[in-house]
Structure 1
Amino acid sequence: MPVEKHSLSRRGLLKAASVAVAAGTFGAASLSAAPRAVAAPAGVLGTIIDFSAGVPSAASVKAAGHIGAIRYVSQRRPGAEWMLGKPVSLKETQDFANNGLFTASIYQFGRDTTADWKRGAAGVAEHAPQAIALHRAAGGPTGVPIYVAIDDNPTQQQYTTLIRPYLQGFQTALKAAGYSMGIYGNYSTIEWAIADKLGQFFWQHNWGSNGRIHPAIHLHQFQNSAGKVGGVEVDLNHVYKANWGQWQAGKTATPQVPANPGTPANPGTPSTRYPDINIGGSSISGQQLEQGLSLAQQIAQAIR
């Protein structure tokens, strides 16, 4: 697996932090109910693009009428060397900022049989530090979300056993480092995640959504392979909310992060932020979890 050039010498440290980073709060929500039949979000505010085959110039993106792009804070996976647009670079985001365009960040390394979520909570220790480090290297500030990709049409069982623990661990790691979490998924995945109080931003894809658009989404990927911008094949996305997790390199972002449905906007802060948990018969105290996440954050800063 490709890693940042400074990561190899810190592999042992990442392993040491892995249990704490991978762990989350494992509350369960009922999955027996079918997704609610509800109205789509109102009002398209603009369009953004996503791409991986290359990097179009900001001028070409602006000329095409888009307000920005959502970009990968992840490396190219083996066999996908054609993805010349991964990962996003500081040069690219500075070009966007200089042209009045915005960037948002998403992590996705594997796909299909190698999908990141298929490792469950255990995969977070590898993925979260890379997402954070690449986001920072590209000029991304704290106080914004990093989206996590569920680029599939999963079953409820897959969500319960693998996706939910993966998202719980990722959300815990991002929160400790000063970020919120976005989720890229289909209608059902977003519905289940909201029921489990996972994610604060949502980007929906159409696979398995059966024509439905979830009312909570910030972004909707409505057309794949929609043509080329600046010579690069792109997908098109509608923007439904003014704050979709966007940022500009060199600027401190302090957006109003929306509260998750059913979650207090300003929850209290206990002395230890994380509960004691049990994974596979092994107990981890909230204090140990907090220390492990602090270590992971320090590692991400060190490889910045």
Structure 2
Amino acid sequence: MPDSRAVSRRDALRYAAAVSAAAGLGAASLAHAPTAAAAAPTLIDYAMRQIPAQDIRAAGHAGVINYVSTSRPGSSFGAKPITLPYAQQLTAAGLIIVSNYQYGKPGGTAPSDFTRGYAGGVADAKTAWALHTAAGGGKSAPIFFSVDDDIDRGTWNNLALPWFRGINAVIGEMRTGIYAGVNPCQWAIEDGVIGRSSSPGKAWIWQTRSWSKGQIHPAAVLYQRVIDTASNPGPVVGGIRVDVNDVLAQDCGQWNKHP
């Protein structure tokens, strides 16, 4: 995921919630609260390798956002894609799972996925859905597709939007989500290419702090608050550094809520 500056917990506290996290968020409730309130539940995302479920629980996280995509050429990430045995381990430990697709990356050995247009969206959605279902992913659960760059409206209209239309053609709008900064999240809603959460007012938006200018979209279900970089390392869980995401809705697209 993208580079960003170090993050203060004030970002999370501003959007904190009173939460009952029973049953893997199945009974959780979340509401805006003053900065003195307890922080929202958190999910971690990572690619280097599979982190044992007990380490994730010991670190106090409610679950994971894991990849339903393969590694780019020249790389070999142990957590891409999520596998059925690993998903079963996480679930048995009471952790929730959310699916994300990202193969290419700016400056990487494969171009950003959103640059591949409608046909690329069709191909990426087929790959994502096959890997998601092979790992036991919920049949009605969304997959968040990554716009891992600071794009303008022209790039959205000419490249990213056709890519999302291709994704919709395969898995449908209701199973399509977006990972991006605040602007593409808004455009995705306006153009009707992402689905809605069962939590009132929420949509399948996993928003990153990067490129968001301190704003959090009111419809976001997940917010990537801590982004691991070389200059600003994320917390270590199970021996590797991770990104940390605040859960902003009872229904954030977790598998166990979308069987």
TM-score (norm 2): 0.77
Deviation at 1:211, TM superposition (A): 1.1
Q: What is the alpha-carbon distance in structure 1 between the residues aligned to residue 168 and residue 207 of structure 2?
A: 18
How far is 1:172 from its partner?
2.5
Query: Which letter does structure 1 place at the counterpart of 2:114?
Result: W
Q: Which amino acid aligns with 1:159?
A: W
Looking at both structures, which has the greater relative contact order when contacts are Cα pairs under 8 Å and sequence separation is at least 6? Answer: 1
Q: Quick check: 1:88–1:138 contact (8 Å CA) kept in 2?
A: yes
**1:232 Cα deviation from its structure 2 partner:** 2.0
CA positional deviation for 1:97: 0.8
Q: Does 1:208 pair with 2:208? A: no
Aligned residue among 181, 189, 201 for 1:186: 181
* CA apart distance, 1:234: 0.7
**Is the CA contact (8 Å cut-off) linking 2:121 and 2:165 kept in structure 1?**
no
Look up the equivalent residue of 2:209 and give its one-letter code: N
Residue 174 (1) aligns with residue 171 (2): yes
Give the secondary-structure state (helix, strand or coil) at the position aligned to 2:210.
coil
* Structure 1 gap segments, 5+ residues each: 1-38, 255-304
Asked if structure 1 preserves the Cα contact closer than 8 Å seen for 2:42 and 2:247, the reply is yes
Q: Distance in 2 between the 1:67 and 1:213 partners? A: 21
Contact 1:107/1:147 (<8 A) preserved: yes
Q: CA RMSD in A?
A: 1.8
- Alpha-carbon distance between aligned partners in 2 of 1:42 and 1:117, rounded to the nearest angstrom: 33
Q: Using the alignment, how far apart are the partners of 1:169 and 1:223 within structure 2? A: 31
Q: Which runs of 4 or more aligned residues in structure 1 lie more than 3 Å from their structure 2 counterparts after TM superposition?
A: none
The number of residues matched between the two structures is 210
**1:79-158 maps to which residues of 2 (within 5 A)?**
79-81=74-76, 83-113=77-107, 114-158=111-155
Q: Which of 39, 44, 49 is residue 44 of structure 2 equivalent to?
A: 49
Post-superposition shift, 1:80?
Answer: 2.3
* 1:57 Cα offset (Å): 0.6
* Equivalent in the alignment of 1:18: none
Q: Is the 8 A contact 2:226 2:244 kept in 1?
A: yes
2:122 touches 2:169 (CA, 8 Å); kept in 1?
Answer: no
Gaps of 5+ in 2: 1-13, 16-30, 34-38, 196-203, 229-233
For residues 59-98 of structure 1, what are the alpha-carbon distances to aligned partners after superposition, in whole Å with 9 as ceiling and x for unaligned? Answer: 11011111100100000001222x2211111111101111
1:42·1:240 contact (CA, 8 Å) conserved in 2?
no
Work out the CA distance in 2 between the residues paired with 1:139 and 1:155: 36
The offset of 1:207, in angstroms, is: 2.0
Structure 1 position 45, deviation (Å): 3.3
Higher normalized helix content (fraction of residues): 1
- Tell me how far apart the structure 1 counterparts of residues 161 and 96 of structure 2 sit (CA, whole Å): 30
Work out the percentage of aligned pairs sharing the same amino acid. Answer: 35
Residue among 226, 239, 248 paired with 1:231: 239
Larger of the two Rg values belongs to structure: 1
